[in-house]
Amino acid sequence: MNEAPSAPSCVGIIMDGNRRWAKARGLPAFEGHRAGGETLKSVVRWAKDAGVEHIIFYTFSTENWNRSEEEVSYLLNLIEEFIGTELEHFNAEGGVLHYVGDLSRFSEKLQRTLKDSEIKTARNFGPHVYFALNYGGRQEILSAVRNIVSKNPQEGDITDAYFAAHLQTGTMPDPDIIIRTSGEKRLSGFLPWQSVYSELFFSDTLWPDFTKEEFDSILAEFATRERRRGK
């Protein structure tokens, strides 16, 4: 029997188009990233209002280190500033903050900011908000394999659930929906293990221009889809 979805439990978002948004307006790239941060805050509120319990944002990929040193430095400073200054906002929304990815490459100061925000929001009851930071799908799978091999498990112990427990997403449910903005139609290493049954939505809208109307439209279309999960 096919599953009749209502509000998705988990939504993944690939926030793309910040730099193009800025370029189209004759602005430096960092203005696009800052505008994208405002959109992210709005989406958390829209998701909460729609009954979405988990939302994960592809915030900084392992490939982002290949950008200019100036832009990488700005992005990391913006992440630290955003989490620090917007903590009150996330608390007001009841958000529980989590971070997915290899955080060890970040400065100790940024790592402390992230850990502190997790602690300060842990008792909230609103949506779980995940930020994928220094995240890459292949790297996540390789890390899980290495971790499992180091434990020398019996062959029969290695099940889907056992493997998933070693992924960086931990107990986060697999995304029902993945949204990518800016017109690009690929996942770029975002949650390859977790997205096998995700419904994919590709928007031509640049991330800073993404609206509640479009978000609600995607949720409405999701509610009409039959999810067979390979059956």
Strand order in the sheet with 54-61: 96-100, 128-135, 54-61, 10-14, 177-180, 199-202
Among the listed residues 64, 91, 116, 174, the single catalytic one is: 64
Nearest to 168 by CA among 213, 136, 198, 196: 136
* pLDDT at 231 (0 to 100): 66
Q: What is the mean pLDDT of the chain?
A: 94
pLDDT of 21 over the 60 cut: yes
The catalytically annotated residue of 2, 16, 18, 49 is: 16
**Confidence (pTM):** 0.94
For 146-198, the DSSP string reads HHHHHH---GGG--HHHHHTTSTTTTPPPPSEEEE-TT----TTSSTTTTTTP
Per-residue pLDDT reduced to its tens digit, 120-133: 999 999 999 999 99
pLDDT attached to residue 1: 39
Average pLDDT over residues 210-225: 96
What pLDDT is attached to residue 227? Answer: 78
CA distances from 153 to 13, 55, 158 (A): 34, 32, 7
Q: Angle of helix 29-50 relative to helix 212-224, nearest 10 degrees?
A: 50
Question: Picking from 14-18, 44-48, 88-92, which range would have the lowest pLDDT averaged per residue?
Answer: 88-92
Q: Active site includes 64?
A: yes
Cα 62 off chain centre by? 14
Domains of the chain: 10-69+78-136+174-199 (3.40.1180.10)
> What are the tens digits of pLDDT across the range 147-199?
999 999 999 999 999 999 999 998 899 999 999 999 999 999 999 999 999 99
Bridge partner list, 58: 14, 132
pLDDT value at residue 2: 47
Q: pLDDT category, 226, cuts 50, 70, 90?
A: confident
